[in-house]
Structure 1
Amino acid sequence: MKIKKWKKFALTILNKIDNSILDIEVLLSNVLNKPRSWILCYEDYYLNIKEIKILNKLLIRRFYNEPLAYLIKKKEFWSLNFFVSNKTMIPRPDSEILVEQSLMKIQDNTYKILDLGTGCGNIAISIAYSKLNCYVTGIDLFPEVINIAQYNANTLNLKNINFFCSNWFTSILNQKYHIIVSNPPYLSYKEFLSLQKNLKFEPITALISKNNGFSDIIKIIKYAQNYLFNRGWLLIEHGWKQKNMIQKFFKRYHYINVQTYKDYNGRNRITSGQKYY
C-alpha cells in the first residue's frame, strides 16, 4: 500500500479528530523515521506489511483519543524533545511560562534550583539547559518517573542536574535553594470529571488534589519556606481560576513580591512569591 492510500484510509478513521491530517503525517514520520517533508514528497512510497501493522495499531489508539505524544513517545518543550510515557504528564506550552519566569529571577551567580513533581523533567531540564552554571534538582514520588526524567537529561548530556524520589519535601534534608518551582496537581475531582475526555490517559496522581484542588499547593507554599534561602523565590503553576486563592496562601505564609503571570492564552497561570526574613 502506498503512503497516499494509507493516508486516505487513516483520514476516514480519524475524521472526527481535530488536526487529523497533521496527526496522520506525524505517525507516518515516526514509524518510517523520516521528516514530514519526506512524507509529503514521497506519497508513492510503498509501505511494507510491518509498517502498515504498526501504523494501524497507532491509528486505532488515536481513534480512541489517546494523545499523540504517547503514541510517538515524545513531546517538544522549550525547543527540546522529551521522551514521555503514560507514567508522566504531557508537557504543555503554558508551562514554558514557569521556565521563563524562573530564568528571569536567576542572576549571574550560581543558583540552586528545585523542581517539585518533575514528571518527565521538562521544567527542570529546560532550566538546567538554559543555565549551565546553575545546579538543578528534580524530585518525584515514583521511581519509574525519575528514570524517565534522568533519561531525558542524559540524552542532552546535562551534568548540572540530578533527580531522586521524594514525596514533596520529605527526602530533602538540610538543603536550601534559591528558586523552587512546581507544577503540582491542582484539579478538583469535579474539574477532572469535566475534562476527563482530554485527560483520561494521563496519570491521575499528577492531576487531582484534595481540598478542591488546593491541598498540594498549600503544602508546597507552607513548607517551601524551610528550603529557600532568604530572598529565595517560589513559583507555582496553577489553574487559571485559582489566582486569588493562591495569592492569599502566599501572603498568609509571609511571602513578599507576590505576582501572577498569564499563560499564552491570557489566563492566570503562574504565581511567584519571595521569602523575606
Structure 2
Amino acid sequence: MTLDALLARAARRLVDAGSPSARLDAEVLLCHVLGVDRTWLYTWGDREAPTLVRARFEALLAARAAGQPVAYLTGEREFWGLRLATSPHTLIPRPDTERLVEAAFAHGASPRGRLLDLGTGTGAIALAFASERPGWSVVGIDQSPEAVTLARHNAERLAIANVDFRAGDWFAPLIDQNGGEPFDLIVSNPPYIAEDDPHLRKGDLRFEPYSALVAAEQGLADLRHLVDEARGHLLPGGWLLLEHGHGQGAAVRDALATAGYGQVATLRDLGGHDRVSLGRHVEGGTGGGRS
C-alpha cells in the first residue's frame, strides 16, 4: 500500500469517527511516524508504506478515532511558530490564544520590561512573547509542577533564556520578603468554562486537564480573582490582559471597570468573537469599549 492510499483510508476512518479535521489529522500522525514534514508527504506519497510504519500509524490512528487529541499523540503542537512539547498535564495551545499574544506585543512595545503569564501550561504565551522581546524579563506560573517542568523543557529546547517558570497558585510564587515583583504586563488564559458546559463532553476537551478548563461562577471565578489581585502586582500604567470565552466579554469588562482599571476594552478573535479583555492600572481610571 502506498502512503497516499494509506492516508486516504485513514482519513475515511477518522471521518466515520467524527473528526472535524480528518485528513489533516491523518497527515500529521503519519508525518510524526515517518519523521518528515507534510511537504515531503505530498512529494513522495506514491512510495510504499513500510510494514513497521503502517503498524505504528494504525496504533495512533486507533487512538485518534477514540478521541485522543493529536497534540497528545504526537507530543507536540505549533504555536506562534514555535514547536512546543505537550502532555496531558497541560492544555493544548490553540490559535485563538495568539490573539492574547498579539495584544501583549501591542501593549509591550518598549525594548525592556517585565511580563507575567499566569496559568502558563506549556509556556506557550510566555515563550512566544519572550522569543520576540529578548530585552524583557518574563515569568510564567502554573499550579501544576508537571506543567512547569514541561514549560522549562520547552524553553530549553527553544533556547529562550529570558523566561523563568515557577510552580504555585496564581500570584503566590511572587510573594517574598520585599513584598513581590511589579510587572508592566500581566497576561493569562485561565480556566473559564462553566462546570455544566456541554462542550466538556466533546472533542479534545474530554482529555485535557479539568482543572485547567473549568471555573466556578459560570466560568468567571478565576477571571474575577485575577482582576482583583493583579493591580497589586502591576506597575502604574501597566496592563492586565485576559483571554476568556466568547460570551464573557461584558462580564470581564464590568469586573475590570469595577476594580478601577482604565481604558477597559475587549478584543475580538479572527472569528469575530470576544476573546481578550484588558484594562490599565491607572489610579481612578474607568472606561469601557470594544474593538
Q: 1:54 aligns with which of 53, 56, 76?
A: 56
Q: Could you tell me whether the CA contact under 8 Å between 1:166 and 1:172 is conserved in 2? A: no
Shift of 1:91: 0.9
The corresponding residue for 1:224 is: 230
Unaligned runs of 5+ in 1: none
Q: In the aligned structure 1, how far is the partner of 2:192 from the partner of 2:168? A: 19
Q: Say whether 1:241 aligns with 2:244.
A: no
Q: 1:197 aligns with which of 197, 202, 210?
A: 202
The corresponding residue for 2:131 is: 129
Q: In the aligned structure 1, how far is the partner of 2:112 from the partner of 2:103? A: 17
1:163-174 aligned at under 5 Å gives the runs 163-173=165-175, 174=180
Shift of 1:5: 3.8
Shift of 1:53: 1.9
The corresponding residue for 2:275 is: 269
Q: In the aligned structure 1, how far is the partner of 2:127 from the partner of 2:76? A: 15
Q: In the aligned structure 2, how far is the partner of 1:106 from the partner of 1:12? A: 46
* TM-score, scaled relative to structure 1: 0.95
Q: 1:162 aligns with which of 161, 164, 183?
A: 164
Q: Equivalent residue of 2:15, what SS? A: coil
Q: Say whether 1:9 aligns with 2:15.
A: no
Q: Could you tell me whether the CA contact under 8 Å between 2:111 and 2:133 is conserved in 1? A: no
Unaligned runs of 5+ in 2: 284-291
Distance 1:220 1:34, change over 3 A: same
Shift of 1:101: 0.8
The corresponding residue for 1:95 is: 97
Shift of 1:41: 2.6
Single out whichever of 139-148 and 12-21 deviates more from structure 2. 12-21
Q: What's the C-alpha RMSD, in Å, of the aligned pairs?
A: 1.4
Deviations 1:190-249 (A, max 9, x none): 11x344212101111111001111111111110111111111110000111111111111
Q: Could you tell me whether the CA contact under 8 Å between 2:100 and 2:243 is conserved in 1? A: yes
Q: Could you tell me whether the CA contact under 8 Å between 1:99 and 1:126 is conserved in 2? A: yes
Shift of 1:22: 2.2
Shift of 1:21: 2.1
Q: Equivalent residue of 1:171, what SS? A: helix
The corresponding residue for 1:75 is: 77
Q: 1:251 aligns with which of 253, 257, 281?
A: 257
Q: In the aligned structure 1, how far is the partner of 2:109 from the partner of 2:84? A: 27
* TM-score, scaled relative to structure 2: 0.90
Aligned-partner residue type, residue 165 of structure 1 = A
Single out whichever of 70-79 and 180-189 deviates more from structure 2. 70-79
Aligned-partner residue type, residue 111 of structure 1 = G
Single out whichever of 120-129 and 31-40 deviates more from structure 2. 31-40
Q: In the aligned structure 2, how far is the partner of 1:9 from the partner of 1:105? A: 48
The corresponding residue for 1:180 is: 186
Count of aligned pairs: 276
Q: Could you tell me whether the CA contact under 8 Å between 1:179 and 1:228 is conserved in 2? A: yes
Deviations 1:108-148 (A, max 9, x none): 24111000000101100001011111010000001110011
Shift of 1:48: 3.1
Q: In the aligned structure 2, how far is the partner of 1:8 from the partner of 1:257? A: 52
Q: Say whether 1:24 aligns with 2:26.
A: yes
Q: Could you tell me whether the CA contact under 8 Å between 2:117 and 2:139 is conserved in 1? A: yes
Single out whichever of 20-29 and 213-222 deviates more from structure 2. 20-29
Aligned-partner residue type, residue 226 of structure 1 = G
Q: Equivalent residue of 2:67, what SS? A: coil
Q: In the aligned structure 1, how far is the partner of 2:42 from the partner of 2:267? A: 40
